[in-house]
Chain A
Amino acid sequence: MNGQNDILEALYRRMILVRFMEETHDRLLKEGKIQLMGHFGTGQEAVAVGVTGPLRQEDILFGTHRGVGEFIGKGMAPKDIWLEYMGKKDSPCHGKGGLHLCDRERNIPGLVATLGSDFSIAVGTALASKMKGTDQVTLYFVGEGTCNQADAHPSMCMAALWKLPIVFSVCTNQFCELSYMCDHYPTGDVAPRAAAYDIPFEIVDGQDIEKTYEATRKAVEHARGGNGPYLVEYKTYRMATHFSGDPGTYVNRDELEEWGRRDPIVLCREMLLERGILSEEEDRKLRDGIQAEVDEAVEAAFAAPDPGIEDLFKDVYSGEGVIQ
C-alpha cells in the first residue's frame, strides 16, 4: 500500500467499529432490547471494509444483509444504522428500511430482500453513470451463495457488453446460509465465471486488509478508467452463524478455530504494531473511543421517536394522495 499508514490506520479503525457494532447488536438482541435479527459478518471485516475503502462518496454501493461492514466502510453513521435497525422515524428511511439500509447522501441506494435482485439494479446505476458521463463507479458487493441467482449472468453480460463502470466484489465466506459452499458449487471459486463474459478477475486473500484494499483499488481504477467491469473474489470465513438465531450445528469446529487464528482485525493489529504505526496504548484508547461512539449512537437511537400512522401511507407514491 506504498506506506500509506494513514489509510491503513483508518481501515483498522473501521474494522473495529464494524466488529463492535455487530457485537453490540448481538448483545442487545440477547438482552431482549431490540427485535431485528442480525446476520453478522464476524471475521469478514477486512473484506467489507477493504472493498469500500477505495470508493469515493459519489461512487455507488450495493451491500448485503451480512452485517454493517460495507455500510460503515462507505461512511454510514452508526447512529443512522441504529435508527434504521430500531425502525425509528428519523432514520434515513424514516423507519421503513429495517435491515435494508439505504443512505442517499452516501450513494447507497438500498439493500434488497430477495437475494440477487440487485445484481441487475447495480448494472443499471452503472449504465446511468456511463450515459450521464460521470466518472462514478458502482460497486456490487455480493455473497458467493447469491452468485447462483440466474440474474448474475445477464448482469455480468450487460456490464461487459456495454463496458460499464462496475466492480463485482464477491465475498466468499464458505457458507451459503446453513450449508457449505461445496453444497452449492461444483467448483471452488466463483470468479472464473467472469471469464465467460470477458470480464477480468482476481482472487485474493480476504483476511488481509492490505490485499483486499489494493485489489479493489485496482479494480475500481480499471472501471473508472472506462475499461469496463472487473470482478474480485475475496476468500474469507464467516465466523458467526448465519443469523442471530442460528446455533450453527452444521459448522466444523476445527475449521472455525483454524480460521479464527487468522482473524483479520488481529492480523491488522499485529501488522500496525510491528510497523510502529500504532502502540498498545493507542490501540486501547482507540477501542475505548470506538465502543463509546457505538454506545452513544445506541442510546440516541433508543431515545428517538417511532414513526406513526402519518408515516404508514407516506412515500408509496410521489404524490400526496393515498391510492388503495
Chain B
Amino acid sequence: MSRTITFSQALNEAMAEEMRRDPGVFVMGEDVRVSAFGQTAGLVDEFGEERVLNTPIAENAITGAAMGAAMSGLRPVLELMFMDFTMLAMDQLCNNLGQWRYITGGQYTIPLTIRTACGAGMRMGYGHSQCLQSQLIQAPGLMIVEPSTPYDAKGLLKAAIRSDDPVIVVESKKLIFGGVEGEVPEEDYTLPFGEAVVRKEGKDVTVAAVGFMTYEALGAAQALAEEGVDVEVIDLRSIVPMDKETLFASVEKTGRLVTVEEGRIRGGIGAEIAALASGEYFSLLKAPVQRVAAPMVPIAGSPALEDLYLPNKDTIVRAVRRTL
C-alpha cells in the first residue's frame, strides 16, 4: 500500500523506521530535537533525548564525534543544517571521513550518514543557499546522493543508514519547504546507490539533472516538445557513484547531452559528466556537451538577483537548443 506524503515526511519516516529497526541508529545535530526545517521533528518523542542528540554549534567537531561513534559500531545520522555549513567540516569530510577505511586497511568502517540541505530561492542570502556538491566529489570514499522525490528520499536515506560507507544525503530546500508530495509505499524498501532514473523518455537530446533541477528539466522538456524536440530527462539521484550506464545508453540514442545542476559551473558535476562523455563516447556526440549551472558569483540578497543567478527551465531550453 502506498500513500502520498511530503519530501520531509519521507525523510522523517526513513529515520524513524531505521531507529526502530536498529538500536545502533541515532540522530545528532544542531537542534535536531525541535528541528529547524522539520525533517527530524517528533523523533525525540518516540526515541528520547539520548538517541536524538542536540549538539553544540561546531560543525567540524560534531562531524568528528559522529565519525568516532560510527567507528565504534553505531550508525549515527548527522545533520549539518545548511550545505554551506559543511564547509566548516571540510577537514573531517575530505581528509578523514572517506579515507579512514582505506588508511586503516579496512580495520575500521565508518557507517555514518550525513544529511544536509542545499539550494537557493528561499531569499536566505549568500551563506545559506549554496549547492556545494561538487566540493565533495573529489573526496575518495564518500557516497553522495541527492533525491528529488519523497519515494527516492526515503529509499536512499534508508539505504544510506544501512550502508557501511559514509554517505552524504543532499536535501534540496525547495523540496523541503515547497512541500513536494509523492507516493511512498508503507512497506520497507531501500534504493541502491548509483542508479539514475529516466523521468521522461525522449529521442533527441539527453538532459542529465541533479536533485530539484530535475523538475526544471521536465518543464524545459515540456516546452521543447511544443517545438517538436523530444527530450529525455535523467534524474541522476546518485552523484557518487554516478550511473554511467544509464547516461551512456541515453546518449547512444540521442547523441546530445545537456547537464543541469544548481551548483556553480566551474569544476562542477556537469564538468565531470562532460569530461566523461568526451573521454568515453566522444564519437557518439553530434554536438558539444552543454552545461547548465549557476554562474561563478555569490548569491545576492536581492530576490531579483537571486532569480537571475539560478538555473531554470528557460536556461535549460536555451542550452538544449544550442545542441540542435
* B68 contacts A123, C-beta separation under 8 Å: yes
Which residue, A104, A119, A132, A151, has most C-beta atoms of chain B within 10 A? A151
- Give 22 CB contacts A-B under 8 Å: A96-B105, A97-B103, A102-B103, A102-B104, A102-B107, A104-B108, A120-B60, A120-B64, A123-B64, A124-B69, A125-B72, A128-B71, A128-B73, A132-B74, A151-B61, A153-B58, A155-B61, A155-B65, A158-B56, A158-B62, A316-B140, A317-B165
Further contacts, 4 of them, CB under 8 A, given A120-B67, A150-B60, A323-B194:
A119-B61, A315-B102, A318-B164, A319-B165
- CB < 8 Å A-B pair total: 149
Q: Is B92 an interface residue (CB 8 A)?
A: yes
Q: Is A154 an interface residue (CB 8 A)?
A: yes
Report the separation of the CA atoms of residues A91 and B69 in the bound assembly, to the nearest whole angstrom.
Answer: 25
* A93 contacts B64, C-beta separation under 8 Å: no
Q: Please, what's the 1-or-0 string for A81-121, where 1 marks a CB less than 8 Å from any CB in chain B?
A: 00000000001111111001011100001101110011111
Q: Quick one: which of A279-324 are within 8 Å of B by CB? A: 314-319, 323
**CB-CB < 8 A to B100: which residues of A?**
110
Q: How many whole Å from A122's CB to the nearest CB in chain B?
A: 6
* A93 contacts B105, C-beta separation under 8 Å: yes
Q: Is A191 an interface residue (CB 8 A)?
A: no
Point out residues on A near B: beta carbons under 8 Å. Answer: 60, 91-97, 100, 102-104, 109-110, 112-114, 117-129, 131-132, 150-151, 153-155, 157-158, 161, 314-319, 323
Q: Is B241 an interface residue (CB 8 A)?
A: yes
Report the separation of the CA atoms of residues A97 and B99 in the bound assembly, to the nearest whole angstrom.
Answer: 11
Report the separation of the CA atoms of residues A60 and B107 in the bound assembly, to the nearest whole angstrom.
Answer: 14
* A97 contacts B105, C-beta separation under 8 Å: yes
Q: Is B123 an interface residue (CB 8 A)?
A: no
Pick the contact of A158 from B61, B101, B104, B108 — CB < 8 Å? Answer: B61
**CB-CB < 8 A to A104: which residues of B?**
104, 107-108
**CB-CB < 8 A to B61: which residues of A?**
119-120, 123, 151, 154-155, 158
* A124 contacts B72, C-beta separation under 8 Å: yes
Pick the contact of B58 from A97, A112, A127, A154 — CB < 8 Å? Answer: A154
* B106 contacts A315, C-beta separation under 8 Å: yes
Q: How many whole Å from B307's CB to the nearest CB in chain A?
A: 36
Q: How many whole Å from B136's CB to the nearest CB in chain A?
A: 14
Pick the contact of A109 from B71, B102, B241 — CB < 8 Å? Answer: B71
Known A120-B62, A318-B109, A323-B241; contact A157-B56, beta-carbon cutoff 8 A: yes
Report the separation of the CA atoms of residues A259 and B106 in the bound assembly, to the nearest whole angstrom.
Answer: 42
**CB-CB < 8 A to A102: which residues of B?**
103-105, 107-108
Pick the contact of A318 from B50, B101, B107 — CB < 8 Å? Answer: B101
* B103 contacts A128, C-beta separation under 8 Å: no
Task: Look across to chain B and name the residue whose beta carbon is closest to the beta carbon of A105.
Answer: B107
Report the separation of the CA atoms of residues A315 and B141 in the bound assembly, to the nearest whole angstrom.
Answer: 9
* B68 contacts A114, C-beta separation under 8 Å: no
**CB-CB < 8 A to A316: which residues of B?**
98, 101-102, 140-141
* B66 contacts A114, C-beta separation under 8 Å: no
Pick the contact of B69 from A112, A125, A153, A319 — CB < 8 Å? Answer: A125
* A121 contacts B103, C-beta separation under 8 Å: no
Task: Look across to chain B and name the residue whose beta carbon is closest to the beta carbon of A155.
Answer: B61
Pick the contact of A92 from B55, B60, B70, B107 — CB < 8 Å? Answer: B107
Q: Is B91 an interface residue (CB 8 A)?
A: yes
* A318 contacts B165, C-beta separation under 8 Å: yes
* B56 contacts A121, C-beta separation under 8 Å: no
Pick the contact of B68 from A92, A100, A128 — CB < 8 Å? Answer: A128
Pick the contact of B66 from A95, A100, A124, A317 — CB < 8 Å? Answer: A124
Report the separation of the CA atoms of residues A97 and B102 in the bound assembly, to the nearest whole angstrom.
Answer: 8
Q: Quick one: which of B111-125 are within 8 Å of A by CB? A: none
Report the separation of the CA atoms of residues A94 and B106 in the bound assembly, to the nearest whole angstrom.
Answer: 9
Q: How many whole Å from A254's CB to the nearest CB in chain B?
A: 39
Task: Look across to chain A and name the residue whose beta carbon is closest to the beta carbon of B100.
Answer: A110
**CB-CB < 8 A to B206: which residues of A?**
none
Which residue, B63, B72, B73, has most C-beta atoms of chain A within 10 A? B72
* A96 contacts B64, C-beta separation under 8 Å: no
Q: Is B96 an interface residue (CB 8 A)?
A: yes
**CB-CB < 8 A to A110: which residues of B?**
100, 103-104, 108
Report the separation of the CA atoms of residues A319 and B162 in the bound assembly, to the nearest whole angstrom.
Answer: 13
Q: How many whole Å from A107's CB to the nearest CB in chain B?
A: 9
* A124 contacts B107, C-beta separation under 8 Å: no
Q: How many whole Å from B179's CB to the nearest CB in chain A?
A: 34
Report the separation of the CA atoms of residues A53 and B104 in the bound assembly, to the nearest whole angstrom.
Answer: 24
Report the separation of the CA atoms of residues A318 and B107 in the bound assembly, to the nearest whole angstrom.
Answer: 11
Report the separation of the CA atoms of residues A104 and B104 in the bound assembly, to the nearest whole angstrom.
Answer: 9
Known A151-B61, A157-B56; contact A114-B96, beta-carbon cutoff 8 A: yes
* B103 contacts A96, C-beta separation under 8 Å: yes
Report the separation of the CA atoms of residues A132 and B74 in the bound assembly, to the nearest whole angstrom.
Answer: 9
Report the separation of the CA atoms of residues A129 and B72 in the bound assembly, to the nearest whole angstrom.
Answer: 8
Report the separation of the CA atoms of residues A128 and B53 in the bound assembly, to the nearest whole angstrom.
Answer: 12
Task: Look across to chain B and name the residue whose beta carbon is closest to the beta carbon of A134.
Answer: B72
Task: Look across to chain B and name the residue whose beta carbon is closest to the beta carbon of A101.
Answer: B104
Q: Is B26 an interface residue (CB 8 A)?
A: yes
Report the separation of the CA atoms of residues A248 and B50 in the bound assembly, to the nearest whole angstrom.
Answer: 50
Task: Look across to chain A and name the residue whose beta carbon is closest to the beta carbon of B68.
Answer: A124
* B69 contacts A131, C-beta separation under 8 Å: yes
**CB-CB < 8 A to A120: which residues of B?**
58, 60-65, 67-68, 92
Known A151-B64, A158-B56, A318-B164; contact A124-B102, beta-carbon cutoff 8 A: no
Report the separation of the CA atoms of residues A91 and B141 in the bound assembly, to the nearest whole angstrom.
Answer: 21
**CB-CB < 8 A to B71: which residues of A?**
109, 121, 124-125, 128
